[in-house]
Amino acid sequence: NPSGGTMTGRTGNGYARITYEYRPIIDSIVSYIEPIYGAVKFLALKSNTLSDTVIAVSPQLLFSAGNQLGDHTLHFQAGTNNSGTILVGTIESIEGEDRFVPIKAVTPSISDSTEDVSLLLKTYSGNGNRLAFATVNSHSFIDNLWMELSDQTPCAFPPMELQAKNVTAQSAVISWARGYNETDYNIEYGVGDFVQGQGNSTIVNNVTDTFFVLNGLTAGTTYTFYVQSNCGDALRTEYSKISFSTECQYTIPFVEDFDSFTADKITKCWVKVGDERTPIVRNIMANTAPNALTLTPRAGEEWMVRFPDLGSSDVTNMIISMDLYAQTGVEVIIGYLDNGNFISLDTITQTENNSWEAHSVGVSGQTGKYFVLKVIPLADELIYIDNISVSKCVRPTDVTVNSFNSDRINISWTAGDSETDWNVKIGEAGFNPELAGTLLTASGNDKDSLDITNLQSNTIYNIYVQANCGTAVSTWSTVAVCTTKKTVAQVPYSCDFENRDEREAWSFANSNNIRENNWYIDRSMYTNNGGDYGMYVSNDGGVSNAYYTEEKATVVHAYRELYIPESNSYQLTFDWKSAGAENDYLNVYLLPADQLPVNGQMPNNSYKINATPFYNNQNLTYHYTYGDTVLGQPILGGVFNFNYTGGVQTWTVPQNLPGVTLEVWGAQGGYRSSSTYGGKGGYSKGYIPLKAGDVLYVYVGGSG
């Protein structure tokens, strides 16, 4: 029976009516409870403009034992978008009107993310008896709100409401709320998540203010700040802490691939203008993995990304380059901010549709002003930007590895502009060309073919090229990667796989799936003929010498690079054994060094030396010898195998060969079910007399 309403009994089903009065608070609206994720609800305040203040007000609160609103500690979970701020206050009647009175302000550290908040309301001494939350130009939400009487015992709780304010590249201000009966504070701060009291931090005791100014900080660095309350007589609280990052400061030239940042975390380097607490470095799409800038503007929405602080660098006649992924026709405007106003300098337009495209423009900014990228799409867009570079000289592109061996790499590149001199940096994978690497200089036609020598074998190298424009240099190119070959063995050569260096000198053209047939050198049982190690095929990552013999054909290669002088005859000897199906076989090839074998592919038949016996059902070890071979071409004897190709294959009889022995195996019958295969083909063997120059036409049938 609400005040002012009436209730009249009825026969049958009951009936109820509630009469209430709605009165707006100044020019705001009372927000509503909005459902999200089904039954989960929260208090939502939606303000879309700077002139739209949205306020949500609680029911009247009843306080016991003469307590007031300011005697309480308020706890809740809060979130905003657009880096918005939530004002926490109450409602007071002022000159006959209900007015919002702010008490505290809360700005979550990451947009669109929920954070736990605890606020001391002791700074409020009025008689307001309602809680109120206000926001401007932001969608804010509040959940799981509760209040308790503040414990006023001295040092009952550590400092609360820590905030990092006015953060620059070299300084920051840390503030906190004063509790009850505190005399002063002890603080400690240092780089990263340091361990307190270990000597790698700065300690300051007996600070009387509730803020502390940090100077002499390093740009682009994360710090942790601890603060503890003192209440006299050695009474102290536990420490509270907050972490923050200083603004980045870049020097020209630079190139940023965003891969050193943590995806989905805010940075103080590249930020969304007007919403610096929204992460824009993501690992969704990148031209050089894993990260890139990710812009998500709505149709007609102005989206701007601010560059890092360039300090006092001369920014006249700059070259700004970037890789852009967007729809055809998307424009990215390049400019700078002057007292909050965007000044346009130039525009790039995407011509490729939803693919990566490189762009460069020449612009002049103003010293001390931030460069900015701005987009205003006609439709909802996903725009990705990677490898942004700023310099006074256009960087080279298309760095390409043309050839390589065990101690040499040959590269070429495309000049950035009309420069004729370059710097080349090479080093083992992962080095920073600004800090490390071996420096080489190049000029003229070196860009078409440059040999880099005296390298280590079987080593992964990164290579960068930088344009030297006389008065300035460019940023370094994108990286080219090359793994040098393993050492080349000299003939005569022998190997029993017991020497580790020699084991590592062998290479494999294997599948990426360890559950498929692949070559290994290891110590699996029954895989050696004396000693510990042998080379074998395995379908379980080398654990055993088991391999698949049915269902599908697999072609894998084990190989070793040898230096074989021309015009000599050689003999190849090796021990081997097999116990697979009748159609399993081992081929031996002598390939040119520039025709490395490829997984799943048979090499050219002209390089085949021989094929060993097909099957050994007794699983014995065989000693195989084949000789009189010069550079892979048989002389007066040899074996040629012909696999199924789907077409005719030919073989021309060499000189002084009176005839050949021909062996043929018919193909297996067709597949009928998951457990039934056709029968195996027939076999025939015979001798055919021939003369030099005769051509044999060979047709090999396929299974089924």
Q: Does a structural domain hold residue 27? A: no
505 and 625 together in one domain: yes
pLDDT tens digits along 98-133: 899 999 999 988 888 889 999 999 999 999 999 999
Residue 22 has pLDDT above 60, yes or no: no
Q: Are 347 and 331 contacting, i.e. CB atoms less than 8 angstroms apart?
A: yes
DSSP 478: P
Residue 218 has pLDDT above 90, yes or no: yes
Q: What is the pTM of this model?
A: 0.61
Q: Is cis: bond before 492, omega within 30 of 0?
A: yes
Higher pLDDT, 674 or 279: 279
pLDDT mean over 555-572: 82
pLDDT tens digits along 520-532: 999 988 788 888 9
144 and 234 together in one domain: no
Distance, in Å, from the CA atom of 438 to the CA atom of 463, rounded to the nearest integer, reads: 10
Residue 147's CB is within 10 A of a number of other CB atoms, namely 18
- Which of 391, 408, 430 is a domain's end point? 391
Distance, in Å, from the CA atom of 507 to the CA atom of 403, rounded to the nearest integer, reads: 18
498 and 635 together in one domain: yes
Work out the burial of residue 413: count CB atoms within 10 Å of its CB; fewer than 13 is exposed, 13-18 middle, 19 or more buried. buried
pLDDT of residue 583: 62
pLDDT of residue 625: 60
Give the containing element (helix H, strand E) for 500. helix 500-505
636 and 646 together in one domain: no
pLDDT tens digits along 294-340: 999 988 889 999 999 998 899 999 999 999 999 999 999 999 999 98
CATH of residue 436's domain is 2.60.40.10
pLDDT tens digits along 180-204: 999 999 999 999 999 998 889 999 9
**Bridge-partner residues for 421, per DSSP?**
443, 468
Residue of 409, 405, 416, 421 lying closest to 480 (CA atoms): 409
207 and 103 together in one domain: no
Distance, in Å, from the CA atom of 344 to the CA atom of 365, rounded to the nearest integer, reads: 10
Residue 577 has pLDDT above 50, yes or no: yes
**Bridge-partner residues for 624, per DSSP?**
574
* pLDDT band with cut points at 50, 70 and 90 for residue 659: low
pLDDT of residue 655: 63
| Token pair 């990228």 in the structure block, residue | 373
Residue 441 has pLDDT above 80, yes or no: yes
Q: Is cis: bond before 689, omega within 30 of 0?
A: no
Helix (H, G, I), strand (E, B) or coil at 334: strand
Range of the domain at 461: 397-483
Question: In sequence order, what DSSP letters do the residues of 378-447 get, joined into one string?
Answer: SS---EEEEEEEEESSPPPEEEEEEEE-SS-EEEEEE-SSS--EEEEEEEETT--TTT-SEEEEEEGGGG
Higher pLDDT, 283 or 554: 283
pLDDT of residue 415: 93
Q: Are 335 and 409 contacting, i.e. CB atoms less than 8 angstroms apart?
A: no
pLDDT of residue 580: 63
* pLDDT band with cut points at 50, 70 and 90 for residue 452: very high
Residue 614 has pLDDT above 90, yes or no: no
* pLDDT band with cut points at 50, 70 and 90 for residue 486: confident
Helix (H, G, I), strand (E, B) or coil at 215: coil
493 and 629 together in one domain: yes
Average pLDDT score over the chain: 84
Distance, in Å, from the CA atom of 263 to the CA atom of 254, rounded to the nearest integer, reads: 21
pLDDT of residue 26: 31
Q: Does a structural domain hold residue 533? A: yes
Residue 308 dihedral angles phi and psi, to the nearest 5° = -65, 165
Q: Does a structural domain hold residue 173? A: yes
